[in-house]
Structure 1
Amino acid sequence: MDNNEYLYHYTNIETLALILKNQTIRFNSLDKMDDLQEQQTADIKNIGQFCYISSWTDDSTESIPMWNMYASLNLGVRIKLRKNPFKIYNNTAEDLSKVINAPVNDASNGKPLQSIIPIAEMFSKGFFSAQAMSKELLIKVEYTDDKEKLYPCLLSEEGERFSIALGELGKYKNLHWKFQNEWRYILTVFPFQLNQPLETSLQSFQLTANKMRYGIEKQPFPYYDMYLSDQAFSEMEITLSPRISAGSKVIVESIVEKYNPSATINESHLVGLI
């Protein structure tokens, strides 16, 4: 498979253990990122908390700055996975009817609606994500000094109606971060309780939108864990940090053998060079 179909993620051994044990990748919200500029917009406060991301790079060459910042030269690993590695779910009318406590007509003609987060799970946890339905989470970050991109205007108003362009969040970073060559998976969520009468749900939707508009709504969760597909998980490659100790190497080998024995472990190309 062509290398352009793969992405790389620098992290520590503890996080690797959780990824392997749970077969998940964690998405954190923009307000938890090291680039404090990311969560800011020109018009809405606290809106970055509804945008969750997982950061990767397409640079197959090991990066000393990336090792230092996100993994460490002594206790880190670099994970290699195919692009869009997430598990895909089939959503049936029966699944949805259990969540909303009402019959749901099956209009799929035998083809279940697919998503990378089960619709029933979204409803039960009180949120909705359009990206989860489109299965298109991956974008290449654009590095810029354009203030209109770095501090976007998300609010559009027409009379009493308004909309919030959550999809504009997380796409741009300051030129200072260009060394990252970052690709990221972006999941924007809208807090929404559907398991209640329709009229109540619509009122709740409008109230939540207004609270987001004025920066007083709270995120439904601080992070979200996305499940990896079995195929992507089994193809994982793990590169050890350049100065990893013999003991830490044993730890990595042990957790890989236990949770993902088909994964490949590689030595760093920087061993002996730094």
Structure 2
Amino acid sequence: MDESKYLYHYTNIETLALILKNRTIRFNSLDRMDDLQEQQTADVKNIGQFCYISSWTDDSTESIPMWNMYASLKKGVRIRLRKNPFKIYENYATDLDKFKSISVTDENNGKPLYSLIPITEIFEKGFYSAQMMSENLLYKVEYTDNQDKLYPRILNDDSESFTLNMGLIGKYKNLHWAFQHEWRYILNIIPLNLNQPVAKSIQDFQFIAKKMRLGSAKQPFPYYDMTISDEAFNEMEITLSPAISLGNRIIVESLIEKYNCVAKLEDSCLLGLI
């Protein structure tokens, strides 16, 4: 087994139930993380709310601190999934026909355009993510005491225009967190209504960017759920927490039987030791 292909996520049984039932992984914004430092930049306020992440670790060895902090010893689980486990959607020009405010041309000659987020959902819900067309959202967290990385300057301004370098956010953490061996999936999501003429969308984007620069813009939603692919879902492995109760074991077994009967269930290697 090549463990480098997999990542691990410590969580509680309630979250496991939602992951199994909905077949999704939740991305939360940086302003909801336990490390309050990482949502901050040196020059733009409140920008961390537009950066959504899901945190995992590449350490296949069970960690007692991770059990305690993110799952608990008695009622938690550790989920193993392949890297980049998300469903890839096929988008066709005909999918956008119902959006009458835009002009649709089939530049792919009937071939699908692939994305991690359905393009129709972006039009329907009024948001935009630059990473939606990528097949790889995964980054290895860099632990550092470099203040320029921990509090990056993301505003590039000249006399005529400005840009916000969102790519500098969410990839660095203080050395104190190095025990996590963290990898994370990152989506930058902003509110933007694309279901309107292009000129109006551009105007709205410029207006939203100015509000983001001033720290007054609001995130489109507090979290975003990404769908797990069938292949990754069927490969799922679940490890029970070291001191799990009989009742909680039964709950996990029942969840697996109902929602993912091919998932592999394992006892903790720390069972009976702590």
Q: TM-score, normalised by structure 2?
A: 0.98
Matched residue of 2:85: which SS?
coil
CA shift, 1:199, in A, is: 2.6
Corresponding residue number in structure 1 for 2:30: 30
Corresponding residue number in structure 1 for 2:271: 271
Corresponding residue number in structure 2 for 1:125: 125
Letter in 2 for 1:232: A
What pairs with 1:247-262 in structure 2 (closer than 5 Å)? 247-262=247-262
CA shift, 1:168, in A, is: 1.2
In 1, are the aligned partners of 2:239 and 2:267 still within 8 Å (CA)? yes
Identity %: 69
CA shift, 1:160, in A, is: 2.1
Provide the rounded CA distance (Å) in 1 between the counterparts of 2:122 and 2:102.
16
In 1, are the aligned partners of 2:143 and 2:177 still within 8 Å (CA)? yes
In 2, are the aligned partners of 1:78 and 1:241 still within 8 Å (CA)? yes
Q: TM-score, normalised by structure 1?
A: 0.98
Letter in 1 for 2:99: V
CA shift, 1:158, in A, is: 1.7
Corresponding residue number in structure 2 for 1:226: 226
Corresponding residue number in structure 1 for 2:41: 41
In 1, are the aligned partners of 2:29 and 2:49 still within 8 Å (CA)? yes
Corresponding residue number in structure 1 for 2:101: 101
**Which of 130-139 and 68-77 deviates more?**
130-139
In 1, are the aligned partners of 2:20 and 2:259 still within 8 Å (CA)? yes
Corresponding residue number in structure 1 for 2:75: 75
CA shift, 1:99, in A, is: 3.2
CA shift, 1:102, in A, is: 3.2
CA shift, 1:200, in A, is: 2.0
Q: Does 1:146 align with 2:128?
A: no
CA RMSD of aligned residues (A): 1.0
CA spacing shift, 1:47–1:11, aligned 2, 3 Å: same
CA shift, 1:205, in A, is: 1.1
In 2, are the aligned partners of 1:47 and 1:212 still within 8 Å (CA)? yes
Provide the rounded CA distance (Å) in 2 between the counterparts of 1:199 and 1:103.
12
Paired residues in the alignment total: 274
In 2, are the aligned partners of 1:129 and 1:187 still within 8 Å (CA)? yes
Letter in 2 for 1:46: N
Corresponding residue number in structure 1 for 2:112: 112
Matched residue of 1:9: which SS?
strand
In 2, are the aligned partners of 1:100 and 1:194 still within 8 Å (CA)? no
Q: Does 1:216 align with 2:216?
A: yes
**Which of 122-131 and 233-242 deviates more?**
122-131
CA shift, 1:136, in A, is: 1.9
Corresponding residue number in structure 1 for 2:21: 21
Provide the rounded CA distance (Å) in 1 between the counterparts of 2:244 and 2:140.
30
CA spacing shift, 1:100–1:210, aligned 2, 3 Å: farther
CA shift, 1:100, in A, is: 5.2
Provide the rounded CA distance (Å) in 2 between the counterparts of 1:109 and 1:96.
15
Provide the rounded CA distance (Å) in 2 between the counterparts of 1:216 and 1:64.
40
CA shift, 1:174, in A, is: 0.2
Letter in 2 for 1:119: I
Q: Identify unmatched segments of 5+ residues in structure 2.
A: none
Letter in 2 for 1:15: T
Provide the rounded CA distance (Å) in 1 between the counterparts of 2:163 and 2:12.
39
- Cα shift readout 1:7-27 (whole Å, capped 9, x = no counterpart): 000000000000000000000
What pairs with 1:180-259 in structure 2 (closer than 5 Å)? 180-259=180-259
Corresponding residue number in structure 1 for 2:156: 156
**Which of 87-96 and 43-52 deviates more?**
87-96
Matched residue of 1:149: which SS?
helix
**Which of 183-192 and 44-53 deviates more?**
183-192
CA shift, 1:96, in A, is: 2.3
CA shift, 1:127, in A, is: 1.2
